[in-house]
Amino acid sequence: METISRTKIVDVLKSDAFGTTVNVRGWVRTRRGSKQVNFIALNDGSTINNVQIVVDVDQLGEEFLKPITTGACISVNGLLVESQGKGQSAEIQATEIEIYGTADPATYPLQKKGHSMEFLREIAHLRPRTNTFGAVFRIRHHMAIAIHQFFHDKGFFYFHTPIITASDCEGAGQMFQVTTQNLYELEKDENGSILYDKDFFGKPTSLTVSGQLEGELAAMALGAIYTFGPTFRAENSNTPRHLAEFWMIEPEVAFNEIKENMDLAEDFIKYCVQWALDNCSDDVKFLNDMFDKGLIERLESVLKDEFVRLPYTEGIAILEGAVAKGHKFEFPIYWGADLASEHERYLVEEHFKRPVILTDYPKEIKAFYMKQNDDGKTVRAMDVLFPKIGEIIGGSQREEDYDKLLTRATEMGLPEKDIWWYLDTRRFGTAPHAGFGLGFERLLLFVTGMTNIRDVIPFPRTPKNAEF
C-alpha cells in the first residue's frame, strides 16, 4: 500500500481539496452496501462525525472486504470527493485499504445497536469507541483546557499539592490509607495501637481529600493559585453523584473576601460553559439530541442570568414555606440542617429558576477553617447550586485570625500538632483570603447532560469497583 501521511477525519471533513489523494485511519462503525458498492463509516476519535468511505467491490474484492466489520481498524488511501449524500460535504473513494486489526462480530460487544449505560460501564475499556463516550471524553479534555486558560489569563499560578498527605483537610476521616506495611503482620504497641515507625513515612498517611490547606500556603506567597488534580474519598457512597477518586479544581486567593470569592466562582463557571458551547458544539449537540433535549438551552440559561446570592437562613425560610404549602421533601428541613440535593434543586429549579449561591451557613455543619461571622452562629461559606446537579462548588472565606482558627480546630478535634504548619500562616503575616473547590466531574455532568457521574470519568472508582 502506498505510504501517504495520515489526515485526521476532523480535518478531512473540513477540507475542500477535492481530487487529491488522502489517507485516513480509524475504526469501522458500519459497513453496508450492495454487490457493486460498499459504504464504510469510519471514525478515528478526532470528531463525533464519521467519514464515508465508498468502496468499489470489484476493485478490492468481496473476500478481501469480508473481515471489515464493525470495530475493525483499517487504513484507507483514496480520492477526496464532494459527497452526494446529505450530512457531510466530503467523502473518500477508496483506492487501497489495509486491515490493521479485525473485530469478530460474534464477540465484539459494540455492535450497531443501542447499549445501556450499565452495560457500557462493564466494558469501560471499549466504551470510548461509542459516539456518546467519544463526545464526553473530548468535552472532558476541553473543560480541562478551559480551566487552565481561565486561571492563566487571570494571573493565577498552577500549584501542585501532594497526593499523599498526613493531614485530613475536611476532618471527614474517610480517607484511603497509604502504607508499605504487611497487613498480615502489623506490629502493635502494648495498647494495641499500630506502630508506624517502620512504615515508609514513619507515620499514618493517606490519599488526599483536598489540596486546599497546602493551596492556602501557596496563596500566602504567590497571591493567587489554583490546584487541579485527583482527590480521594473513602466514603461508602454508591450514588450517581459520588466517586471514590475524582478531580478537583481549587483556587485560593490572598486578599479576597467572600464577595470576590462568589464573583470568581460565577465568572469561572460561566467561562467553562461558554467554552463548551464555542469549542465542543458538535459533541454538545449530539448529547443534546440523543440524551438530554434541554441541554443546550440549560447551558445558555446559565450564561444569561446572574446567580442569586442567598443567605442560608433565607433559603431555609423558603424551603419551610414550600413545606407549609404542601411540598414533600424526603429529608426534614430546619435551621441547622445540612441541605440535601433535593433542597438545593428546589431552590434552583423551582423557586428561582437559575443558579443560586448559598452563603452564611451554620458553623456546626461546616469545616474548621471557615471565617466566622460576627453573629457567632454562622460562617462565610458559599455553595454554588446548579440545576440537575445541586452543589457544584463549595468554598469560603478562610479564618485568618490565629486564635479563632486554633479554638475552632480544637473544638472539632483537630490536634495542633497535625496542623501547626497551617496555623503558622496565621502567625506570620496573616491576611484575608478565600477560595473554593469545584468537583471536575460535577461540572462535566452539567456540561454533558449525563446523569451518572460514573459516565464522565474514563474508569470510575466506586465501592466494590476498581476494574480496568
Predicted confidence at residue 166, as pLDDT, reads 85
Q: Count Cβ atoms below 10 Å from residue 181 Cβ, excluding itself.
A: 15
Closest residue by Cα to residue 435 from 400, 409, 464, 401: 400
Please, is 348 exposed, middle or buried when counting C-beta atoms within 10 Å of its C-beta (0-12, 13-18, 19+)? buried
Predicted confidence at residue 174, as pLDDT, reads 85
| Residues with Cβ within 8 Å of residue 415, at least 6 apart in sequence | none
What value does the mean pLDDT of the chain take?
A: 95
Predicted confidence at residue 240, as pLDDT, reads 85
Predicted confidence at residue 169, as pLDDT, reads 53
Predicted confidence at residue 173, as pLDDT, reads 59
Predicted confidence at residue 154, as pLDDT, reads 98
Question: Residue 221 carries which side chain, given as an amino acid letter?
Answer: A
Place of cell 460562617: 379
Sites in the chain below the pLDDT cut of 50 = none
* Statement: the pTM of the whole predicted model exceeds 0.75: yes
The answer to whether 436 and 251 have CB atoms below 8 angstroms apart is yes
CA 400 to chain centre: 31
